[in-house]
Structure 1
């Protein structure tokens, strides 16, 4: 009792404040616990949804991967597509083979039997796409090479042969509908005299089959081979057009 009597008097207000603070913290802790329990329940629900969604997604993912694989193959971007050939290129390649075959009949005559056009699906270098390549077989060397190695005159002959071959294939595919008119713009200046004669013989054979062949050129030698001509004459007052017919010397 003596010791208790020696203690300072109790501070009731401080005790009340401490009690109030403890009560407040208890309420906050209780509220936090309730919130945590609610979050746990929500997370449990989301977990169940995620598991269910993953199960439902599995067949969709398999379907997507299958379609994506086919799409990449068709686009020529898949590593499984060894030639990096697009689907449309694959389809067109068959038609290009027909065009090359028809063109060879013309090119062989233009080149005195030297060149044959063939379709090539060889893989292109770098990031270039493959499938619609053209090579020539050179009868003089027996080698097959890219058309890019042809000279200017040879390239013109090959291009003309391809145009004629395409016209033949289109005619066959269109149920006999003929492409009646063909215009050729320049290119004759790169030809030697023998090649020029051979190409004009081919064009003459088209004209004899009632096809109209128009030639745009500055080559003077053509004037002796073209029976009907439209000549553009320049002057200081402008250009004038002259129509004339000339006797043809074969």
Structure 2
């Protein structure tokens, strides 16, 4: 905040938990209004909006042997692409044949014709979805995809519930923007309790919930030190409130 200036003038890099979200790069007036209507007014509201699940994108696979029924992360080039609508049920289907270099699979999307302009024959994409095997070979239904490039995010990826028209990807980007600006997160627990219960500090816990390290227990996140810290924090202040 500029000294002597408007109390609503926030300089870049001066984010804290009570900075209005409209000052976060990428939010803008329209998104700020949507977020506020849904109860997200300040930076803290978004940082305490936790993923409902995580996806393991630490390793790209080329071959699917032994992975039937599992979600996989892979990269491949689309060698054929077509879209059609079934005669009886009028279901729109987009089907792409993808070559990973080690094997081929069909990526199929149902009733999502709006995806077609984003798919191009001859281009390479990254795909994430559940791999299946049927009489026609390997298949992935309704996978997530994006053009494959060096800036692609890998690792353990958080997945958020959509907030109205704000997609999980946009939510992830906004949270990343907050941390890129070195948001100030003040500790709110006594240090002797943090040490006694072997808990991470508040800022570290929040960061690693949204950007998990490779050893993060994403299959049972609530048992992780990061979430244990948040749960302890909530219970601590709940009991403190009851005491008064």
Structure 2 length as normaliser, TM-score? 0.21
Taking CA–CA contacts closer than 8 Å with sequence separation of 6 or more, which of the two structures ends up with the larger relative contact order?
Answer: 2
Q: Which has the higher helix share?
A: 1
Structure 1 length as normaliser, TM-score? 0.21
Q: Which has the larger radius of gyration?
A: 1
Q: Which has the higher strand share?
A: 2
